[in-house]
Amino acid sequence: MELIETHRRRKVEINIVPLVDVLIVLIFFFLVSMQFRNMTTLNLVLPKIETAGKNKNVEQLEIAIDAAGQFFLSGVPISKDELEFSLNLQGELNREIPVLVMADEETYLKRVTYIMDVCREAGLEKIRLQSR
């Protein structure tokens, strides 16, 4: 006597509700953990350059000089000695980071060239000037 086994074939169902739940949780996680760039506002009047290009949004050091000649590193007032120390330290950590120099149009050129010299001495060669 031969036993015949019959298997019932189950109908395959793909339940997408858990998949949607996981995607929503991932989107929520990335939105919450995203770091927004904090931009500080300084009272600078930048000179206008007709042939200026757009800056890419990358990690960079931002150095500003106001009309009075005060230096700012990432929006924080800083002295010449502190600026030199910070740039030398950054040059030791990462020589490839770009430096963005923003100077008020009333700033003396010697202050801008001073920053460029300090950056080059620290090994930071990617120096850009910000304009309007």
Burial class (CB in 10 A: 0-12, 13-18, 19+), 124: buried
For the chain, domain boundaries? 61-129
Q: Over the stretch 8-17, which tens digit does the pLDDT of each residue have?
A: 777 888 888 9
d(CA 103, CA 100) in angstroms, rounded, equals 10
pTM of the predicted protein model: 0.57
Of 32-46, 52-66, 100-114, the poorest mean pLDDT is in 32-46
pLDDT, tens digit (0-9, with 9 covering 90-100), for 79-111: 888 888 888 888 888 888 888 888 888 888 888
User: What is the C-alpha to C-alpha distance for residues 89 and 98, in angstroms, rounded to an integer?
Assistant: 14
Whether the CB-CB separation of 88 and 124 falls below 8 Å is answered with: no
- pLDDT, position 24: 95
In the prediction, which pLDDT does 22 show?
94
**CATH number of this structure's domain 61-129, picked from the four choices 3.30.420.270, 3.40.50.300, 3.30.465.10, 3.40.50.720:** 3.30.420.270
